[in-house]
Amino acid sequence: MLAKMLKESNYTVVLTGAGLSTESGLPDFRSSNGLWNNRNPLELATVDAMEHNQEEFISFYRQRMKALLDVVPHAGYRILAEWADKGIIKSFITQNVDGFHTISGHKDVAQLHGTLRECRCHNCGETYPMETFLESNDLTCVCGGFIRPSVVLFGEMLPEDAIHLAEEETNNADLFIVLGSSLQVAPANLFPQIAKQNGAKLVIVNIEQTPLDDIADLVINKRKIGEVLKEVNESI
Ligand code: APR
């Protein structure tokens, strides 16, 4: 069914979440062993936490950056790259900050939540390599500001260019596929709804149920994305 929808589509857009990277060994957020399982994101992933809980903030993001050094995109990312190269997928909208889409050669990627693979000054915006945040004992920018990961913290504005690309691609889509997201966070979870309202077909591939399953044309749950992509690829 998904292979047929992909073949019949003229403009497929894919929205990805942390569930697309768990098979590479990176934790997601809301599964039973997810990052928010025994932590309150609002005490860690916010500007307030960065300013008033800075030691834990630094340790949390250093731990997540270090995790990136030991993992690579799994075979599912390569299949997605092949489909993008063949024009089967036109673009990706991702909530992930692991950079795996870019590493896998995916071209048009809207990184809604920024990236862990870089850091920047919270005051002047000067960018620094990830290693600066990982290794430097002094996270003070030349301007005096605090050097923090280039990820979007809860309550922060999303990058305008990523939002515009996501809006544009969602409006172009006649097939909108969600891969590995609980669809709990706005505005990312609005794009599947907008696509559906525009008349696109909506597919959700996610082990657990999501709040948008009831408006989807196809829901594939209880199965790992890697297996689903491999199986679909055999009949594309
Ligand atoms: N195959 C299919 N689904 C999977 C797999 C897998 N291998 N691994 C995990 N999942 C599913 C989980 O069941 C879960 O519902 O992926 C979903 C991931 O959901 P979340 O952990 O909530 O991650 P995500 O939707 O990306 O979170 C969105 O929340 O905290 C913020 O900024 C953070 O970008 C993140 C945003």
Q: Is 151 annotated as a binding residue?
A: no
Contact 6, 88 (CB under 8 A): yes
Check residue 51 and give its pLDDT. 95
Mean pLDDT to the nearest integer, 158-180: 98
User: Which residues, 6+ apart, have CB-to-CB distance to 68 below 8 Å?
Assistant: 26, 98, 99, 116, 117, 130
Residue 160 confidence (pLDDT)? 97
Rounded Cα–Cα distance for residues 107 and 60 (Å): 30
**Tell me, which fold does domain 27-70+115-151 have in CATH?**
SIR2/SIRT2 'Small Domain' (3.30.1600)
pLDDT of the residue at 219:
98
CATH architecture of 1-25+73-113+158-236: 3-Layer(aba) Sandwich (3.40)
Report whether 65 contacts 133 (CB < 8 A): yes
Report the DSSP beta bridge partners of residue 15: 93, 178
Inter-CA distances, 48 with 33, 44, 143, 175, Å: 25, 8, 20, 39
- Catalytic residue, from 74, 101, 106, 113: name it: 113
Task: Please tell me the distance between residue 29's alpha carbon and the centre of ligand 1 in angstroms.
Answer: 6
Q: Catalytic annotation on 113?
A: yes
* Per-residue confidence band for 64, with pLDDT thresholds at 50, 70 and 90: very high
Residue 182 among known ligand-binding residues:
yes
Interatomic CA distance for residues 14 and 76, integer angstroms: 13
pLDDT mean over 99-121: 97
Q: What ranges do the domains of the chain cover?
A: 1-25+73-113+158-236, 27-70+115-151
pTM: 0.97
Q: Cis ω on the peptide bond leading into residue 192 (within 30° of 0)?
A: no
Q: Please state, as a whole number, how many other Cβ atoms lie within 10 Å of the Cβ of residue 124.
A: 11
Distance CA 29, CA 225 (A): 16
Residue 87 confidence (pLDDT): 96
Instruction: Identify the CA nearest to 185 among candidates 98, 70, 82, 96.
Output: 96
- Cα–Cα distances in Å, from 234 out to 68, 157, 227, 228, 230? 30, 40, 11, 10, 7
Query: How much is the pLDDT for 46?
Result: 97
Which token pair is 140? Answer: 């003070």
In the predicted model, what is the mean pLDDT of residues 77-86? Answer: 97
Q: What is the pLDDT of residue 216?
A: 98
Q: pLDDT band for position 106 (50/70/90)? A: very high
pLDDT band at 202 (very low <50, low <70, confident <90, very high): very high
44 alpha carbon to ligand 1 midpoint, in Å?
A: 18
CB-ligand 1 contact for 169 (6 Å cutoff)? no
Give the 3-state secondary structure of the chain: CHHHHHHHCCCEEEEECHHHCHHHCCCCCCCCCCCCCCCCHHHCCEHHHHHHCHHHHHHHHHHHHHHHHCCCCCHHHHHHHHHHHCCCCCEEEECCCCCHHHHCCCCCEEECCEEEEEEEECCCCCEEEHHHHHHCCCCECCCCCEEEEEECCECCCCCHHHHHHHHHHHHHCCEEEEECCCCCCCCCCHHHHHHHHCCCEEEEECCCCCCCHHHCCEEECCCCHHHHHHHHHCCC
User: Does 49 appear as a known binding residue?
Assistant: no
Over residues 27-45, the mean pLDDT reads 94
> Looking at residue 122, what is its pLDDT?
98
Measuring from atom 26 of ligand 1, which residue has the nearest CA? Answer: 17
Instruction: Tell me the pLDDT band of 204, cut-offs 50, 70 and 90.
Output: very high
